[in-house]
Chains A and B, each alone.
Chain A
Amino acid sequence: MPHIQLNNDAPGIRSLVIYRPDTGKPLYELAQALLRAGSPDSTLSDAERELIAAFVSNQNCTDFCRNSHAAASRYLFGEQASIVDQTLQNPETAPISTKLRTLLTIAERVTADARTVTDDVVATARAEGATDGDIHDTVLIAASFSMYNRYVDGLATLASDDPTDYVAMGERMGTLGYVVPKPN
Chain B
Amino acid sequence: MPHIDFVPGLPGIRGPMAFSPETARPLNELVNVLLRSNANHPDSTLSAGERELIGTFVSARNDCFFCQTIHGAVASHHLGDTDWSLVQSVKQDYANAAISDKLKALLAVAGSVQQGGKHVTAEQIEKARSEGATDRDIHDTVLIAAAFCMFNRYVDGLDTWAPDSSDLYRYRAQKVAEYGYTHEDHYMPPA
Contact = CB atoms under 8 A, between A and B. Distances in A.
B20 A136 contact: yes
Given A3-B138, A154-B142, A140 B23 contact: yes
A81 B25 CA distance: 32
Interface residues of A, number: 49
A147 B157 contact: no
Interface in A131-146: 132, 135-137, 139-140, 142-144, 146
B34, B122, B159: residue with the most chain A Cβ atoms closer than 10 Å: B159
A151 B16 contact: no
B118 A110 contact: no
Contacts of A23: 30, 33-34, 143
B113 A135 contact: no
Contacts, number: 145
Contact of A33 (B1, B22, B113, B143): B22
A149 to B, nearest CB: 6
Nearest to A7: B135
B157 A19 contact: no
> Which of A37, A61, A144 gathers most chain B CB within 10 Å?
A144
A27 B26 contact: yes
A119 interface: yes
A179 interface: no
B116 A150 contact: yes
Given A22-B33, A62-B117, A30 B154 contact: no
Of A20, A39, A110, A146, most B-chain CB atoms within 10 Å: A146
A114 B152 contact: yes
Given A22-B38, A119-B3, A4 B116 contact: no
A64 B169 CA distance: 39
Nearest to B62: A114
A144 B4 contact: no
Given A144-B150, A151-B117, A154-B117, A19 B139 contact: yes
B20 A140 contact: yes
A117 B3 contact: yes
B156 A114 contact: yes
A4 to B, nearest CB: 4
A150 B156 contact: no
A contact face: mostly helix, strand, loop, or mixed: helix
A182 interface: no
Interface string A142-178: 1110111111111110000000000000000000000
A148 B4 CA distance: 25
> Interface centre among B27, B125, B145, B153, by most A CB within 10 Å?
B153
A132 B150 contact: no
B146 A154 contact: yes
Nearest to B19: A136
A26 interface: yes
Interface string A52-72: 000000001110000000000
A114 B16 CA distance: 15
Contact of A110 (B33, B142, B157): B157
Contacts of B146: 146-151, 154
B4 A3 contact: no
B117 A132 contact: no
Given A146-B149, A147-B147, 14 more contacts: A3-B120, A23-B33, A26-B30, A26-B33, A33-B22, A39-B19, A119-B1, A132-B4, A139-B153, A139-B154, A143-B153, A150-B145, A150-B146, A153-B120
